[in-house]
Structure 1
Amino acid sequence: MRRRIGSGAFATVWLAYDEHLDSPVAIKVLADNWTGDLHIRQRFLEEGRFLRKVESPHVVTVYDAGELADDRPYLVMAYADQGTLADRLELSALEPAQALTVIAQVGQGLTALHDRGVLHRDIKPANVLFRTIENGRGSQVVAMVGDLGLGKAMDMSSRLTMVGGTPTYVAPEQALGEGLDPRADQFSLAALSYYLLAGRQPYDHKSLSAAEDPAPPPPMEIDNPDAEAVVLKALSKDRDDRYEDVASFVGALVDALGGEMDEAPQAWIPPDPELTQAAGRPASTGIAASLPPLPDAVRRRTWPWVVAGVLALVVGGGVGWFLERAATTDRTVDDATGTISVTVPEAWTAQVDPEPWTPADGEQEQPSIAAGVRAGWNTDTEPAEGVFVGLLEGEKLPTRVPQHPACETARKPVFDERNGDRSMTVFFNGCPEVDYTVERVVQVNESQLLWVQVRSDDRATANQVLDAVKVSGMGI
C-alpha cells in the first residue's frame, strides 16, 4: 500500500516501515510547488542538517536525507508513535513527577542541540514528541524535541536573526529580533515548565510584539515556592538574570522538586501492529488501488517502504500525531484564473474572493485573490487578519505605497531583488485591531506590478504569507 497521509504548506509526509531498521519511520518530502524557492528549500534542508548533527534519544532522529528524481529533497525521520505533548495534555494534566520527567528530557534534548551549536527557537507543546522505546525495563515513552523549522546555528543567530516563534513561549530578545544564545530556549522551556506545573500558561500573548516586553507572570500557585522561584528566574525578561544554561535551570528545578520523576513512563496510545509493521502487498482493489505510488527515487532506495495510515509529522510548522489545530494549519488559495496563489493560515480562509479586480478607472480587470478571517477584514472600519494580492499595470516601482495613518509606526521602505524581480516593502506596526500591516509592490515584468497587502497580528505570520505568494509564469 502506498498513500499520502498528510500534507501542509511546505511538505508532504508519509509513514513507512523500514525493514532494515525494523521500525516505522516518517518520510517528509518538500512540496513540489516549493522546489524552485531557494529560501524554503534551504530551510527544509537546514532542519535535516541540524537534526543530523545531534545524537540524543531526546531529539528527533534523521536517518537519511536525499533528493527525488524531480529534485525535491526528503528526510527520513523517527516516528513519534505517542503523539505530541499538546495531544497528551488534551487528555489530562500531567502529574508533577510526569511533568518533571518531560521537562528534564526536553532539557536534555536542548542541551544536546546547544552542544552542537544549534538553537531550537520554538519550544512549545506541539514540538515535544513522544516515542515508545524498548529497553531492559520494557516499553517506555521518551520525550523528544522536534521541528527545527526555525532552528538556527548559533553563529548565524548572533549576526542575523529571523523574527519567529510562538508568542506565548518566545523569549523577549527573540521577539525583538536580537541576536540569540541558548538562554532564549531556556526561557521557552521555563514557559513550558510553568504550564505543566501550574496548569496554565504564564502569558497570553496574541502577537510577537506583545512578547517583546512581557510583564512578570502571575504567581504559579503551587505548593513549592522554591520550584516557583526557579521557573520565574528562568523567565526573567533580561537574559542575564536567567540561569547560565538549560542544564543549570533543569538541575535547579529537579532539586527544588525533590528529584521525583516518573521512572517508567507508559504509552497512552495503544500500539496498532497494522500501522507499524511490515506487511505483504495488498491486492490492488478498493481505496489502495486508487492511491498514487511513492516516487521512483524513493522506491529505488534499499528500503521496501510499506506506508501506513497514521501521521507521524506535522508538516510546515510542527511535529506530532495529529495535524496542527485549525489555528495553525496552512492552506493554499488561488485566484479564478490560476495566475496567483498564496499560502495562508487556515483561519484566514473564512472569506476568500478569487475574482479579478480593476486597479483604477479605465484599466482592464486583472487577476487577484483576497483571503481573510471574516468579511470586511480589509476595511479601515473593521480591520482583521488577511491578505490581498493583485496584478496591475506599471513599468517601474512606485515611490510610495498606500499609507496607514492609524498605525503607530511606519518603517522605512525595504528594497530587494529576487530572481530578477525588484520589490519595495513597507511594514506598519501598532495598527488598530491588527498589529501589523504590510504593503509590498513587486515588478514582475516590464509592464506589470504585483501589489500585496497583508494584515496580521504578528510579524512572523506576515513574513510567511509574503514569502508564500506565487504568480505563475512571471518569475516569482
Structure 2
Amino acid sequence: MSAPSRLGRYPVRRRIGSGAFATVWLAYDEQLDSPVAIKVLADNWTEDFHARQRFVEEGRFLRKVESPHVVSVYDAGELPDSRPYLVMSYADQGSLADRLDLEPLTVSQAVHVIAQVGAGLHALHQRGVLHRDVKPANVLFRTVEVNGAPQVSAMLGDLGLGKAMDMSSRLTIIGGTPSFVSPEQAQGEPLDPRADQFSLAALTYLLLAGRAPYNHASLNAAADPAPPPPLDNGLPAETEAVISKAMAKDREERYADVPAFVAALSTSLAGHTDEPPTWIPVDPDLTLPAPRPGTSGSLDTDWTTQAPSRKPGAPARLSRKRLTAVGLAAVLVGLLSGFGAHELIVTDRTIEDVSGTISVTVPEAWTRAVDTEQWVPPDAEAEQASISAGTAVGWNQNDDPGQGIFLGVLPGELPPVVPQHPECEVTRPAVTDRRNGDSYMTVEFTDCPHGGITIERVIQVTANRLLWVQVRAEDRSAAIEVLDSVKLSL
C-alpha cells in the first residue's frame, strides 16, 4: 500500500515497518518542527474490540510514565475508519537487536544500557505497570545531547504485553519471548515486578556472555528452566552470582526490585568498566531528521508480486549479506510487536495466500518473489493453501540460493522425519512440542555452505492435515521471528 499523505494533523514521510497488528509511520510534527513515529492499528483489527482496547491501553500505560528511558506518547487519535493511532517519540539510532547484529557491546556499554533499561523498568513499576517483554528488539536507541555532545540513550518500547499490576492477578494472555521470559509468566501465574527483573537479568546475560542464557523453543520450556549456564567470559564470580540471583526460578530468591539488581551488578563489575562509562557511539548516518513535508524523497511504494519457480516439496537454501548499517526502517521495531506478536527486526510485510488461510510476516527483501497461489502437495490430488516468498525467483533452488519461506497445507499426520539437508554440517536433533494445542516437529540445520540456517517445521493443525514450513535465513533469530509470525485459519 502507498503511504497516506497525513495521519491526523501529521504529514507522513515513509513507512518505518509493519506487522500483523500495527503499522508504524515516520511523520512530521509541523508545530514542534520534529519527526515523530505514529503507530496505527492494522485495518484487519478495526472491528476487534479487544485488539482496539489493548492498543489504546498501550498508549495509556506509556503516557503514565515520565522517564527518558521509556518511549513517550505525545498524542493519540482516531482515523476516519475508526482505527486508533499513537504519536510516539522517534528512535533515530535503531534497536539493541540492530546493534548486536553489528557487533557485541563492551562490558562498560552493556552495564550502561542495562542501567538505563533498568531505570525505565523502575519508572514503569513505580507507576504500577509491568512491561512483560524485555528483549533486545524492545530496547530502542535515540540521540540525546549530554554536555553539548550527541550520545546514545536507551529506552524501552512496546508495551503491547504491558499490564497494570492491579490486573496481574486476573486471567490474562500468556505472552513473552521464551528465551527471556520468567518461569512464573510462562506458567500464567500472577505477576509482579520481579518478572521484569528476571527478563532484565536474562538480557544482561546476553550482553555479557554474547549468547542468550536459554534457547527455549516455547513458553512451555521456559516454565521450568534450569539455572543459567556459566558466563565463561572471565568476569568476576560475583557478577555471575548477581545474574543467577536475579534469574532465580523462585521469585522470592530474587532482588527486592530492579534498582537493587542494577546496583549489585555495577558493584560486582567494579574495576571492569570505564569511568566515566563508555557510551555507545552515535551513528551519524542515522541522526539525520526526516525531510520536512514538501522536500524531495519518494514515499513508500507498492511491492510487486512474482511467481517463483518453486518445486513442491523441494528444500530451500539461503544466503544474505551481513547487516552493515542499521536502516531507518528498523528503528522502531520494538513498537511493532504489540499484543504479543513476535515481529521482525527490519521493515516487513504481511503476506496472505489467495484463500485467506495462511499469513506470514517477512522482511521486505523477501517479497521480491512471492507466490500466494495454491499448490498440489506430493502424492495428493487436491490443491491446498500455500505461500512462497523469497529474495529472488529461484531462491529455493541450489543454483542461485536466496533466503525466504515456504508454507503449504498438506494431508497427513506428523512424519517420523522431515526433509534433510546433507549439505549442512550440523543437524540439531528434532524437537517435538505443542503450541496453542497443535503438535509440531522442528529440525534445524546450521553451518550450511550458504552460511545461514535452514529450519524445517511440520505442524499437525487438524487430525488429518499438516502445515509444512521451511525457512532459510542468515541467522536463527531472523528465522524464528518469521516462524513465530505464521498464522493459520482452518
Fold shared by both chains (TM-score > 0.5): yes
Shift of 1:71: 0.9
Rounded Cα–Cα distance in structure 2 between residues aligned with 1:464 and 1:95: 32
Match of 1:87 in 2: 98
Match 2:437 to one of 427, 435, 443: 427
Match 1:71 to one of 74, 82, 85: 82
Match of 1:242 in 2: 254
Match 2:279 to one of 265, 281, 288: 265
Q: Check if 1:276 corresponds to 2:289.
A: yes
The one-letter amino acid paired with 1:269 is D
The one-letter amino acid paired with 2:385 is I
Rounded Cα–Cα distance in structure 1 between residues aligned with 2:180 and 2:286: 34
Shift of 1:167: 1.3
- Which SS does the other structure have where 1:179 is aligned? coil
Match 1:97 to one of 105, 108, 111: 108
Q: Check if 1:316 corresponds to 2:350.
A: no
Rounded Cα–Cα distance in structure 2 between residues aligned with 1:455 and 1:317: 24
Rounded Cα–Cα distance in structure 2 between residues aligned with 1:224 and 1:454: 47
Shift of 1:49: 1.5
Rounded Cα–Cα distance in structure 1 between residues aligned with 2:439 and 2:166: 29
Shift of 1:170: 1.1
Match of 1:331 in 2: 350
Q: Is the 8 A contact 1:98 1:262 kept in 2?
A: no
Q: Check if 1:53 corresponds to 2:73.
A: no
Shift of 1:330: 6.2
Quickly say closer, same or farther: Cα 1:248–1:117, change in 2 above 3 A.
same
Match of 1:198 in 2: 209
Rounded Cα–Cα distance in structure 1 between residues aligned with 2:190 and 2:417: 33
Match of 2:452 in 1: none
Match of 1:301 in 2: none
- Which SS does the other structure have where 2:85 is aligned? strand
The one-letter amino acid paired with 1:316 is L
Match of 1:344 in 2: 360
Quickly say closer, same or farther: Cα 1:333–1:238, change in 2 above 3 A.
same
Rounded Cα–Cα distance in structure 1 between residues aligned with 2:249 and 2:458: 22
- Structure having the higher Rg: 1
Q: Aligned residue pairs: how many? A: 391
CA RMSD across the alignment: 4.2
Percent of aligned pairs sharing the same letter? 54
Rounded Cα–Cα distance in structure 1 between residues aligned with 2:89 and 2:208: 28
Match 1:26 to one of 7, 26, 37: 37
Q: Is the 8 A contact 1:376 1:382 kept in 2?
A: no
Shift of 1:125: 0.9
Alignment gaps of 5+ in structure 2: 1-11, 303-326, 377-381, 389-404, 420-431, 444-456, 471-480
Match of 1:415 in 2: none
Rounded Cα–Cα distance in structure 1 between residues aligned with 2:418 and 2:409: 4
Q: Check if 1:14 corresponds to 2:30.
A: no
Rounded Cα–Cα distance in structure 1 between residues aligned with 2:375 and 2:248: 50
Quickly say closer, same or farther: Cα 1:2–1:99, change in 2 above 3 A.
closer
Match of 2:159 in 1: 148
Match of 2:141 in 1: 130
Q: Is the 8 A contact 1:50 1:151 kept in 2?
A: yes
Match of 1:165 in 2: 176
Q: Is the 8 A contact 1:340 1:368 kept in 2?
A: no
Q: Deviations over 1:64-96 (max 9, x none)?
A: 111011111111111111111111122222111
Match of 1:419 in 2: none
Rounded Cα–Cα distance in structure 2 between residues aligned with 1:226 and 1:289: 51
Q: Is the 8 A contact 2:387 2:407 kept in 1?
A: no
Q: TM-score, normalised by structure 1?
A: 0.69
Quickly say closer, same or farther: Cα 1:383–1:353, change in 2 above 3 A.
farther
- Which SS does the other structure have where 2:145 is aligned? strand
Q: Deviations over 1:182-214 (max 9, x none)?
A: 111111111111111122221111222221211
Q: TM-score, normalised by structure 2?
A: 0.68
Q: Is the 8 A contact 2:408 2:468 kept in 1?
A: no
**What is the 5 A alignment of 1:357-376?**
369-370=385-386
Shift of 1:439: 4.7
Q: Is the 8 A contact 1:141 1:264 kept in 2?
A: no
Shift of 1:131: 0.9
Rounded Cα–Cα distance in structure 2 between residues aligned with 1:74 and 1:230: 41
Quickly say closer, same or farther: Cα 1:100–1:356, change in 2 above 3 A.
closer
Q: Deviations over 1:437-456 (max 9, x none)?
A: 5559xxxxxxxxxx997789
Shift of 1:346: 3.7
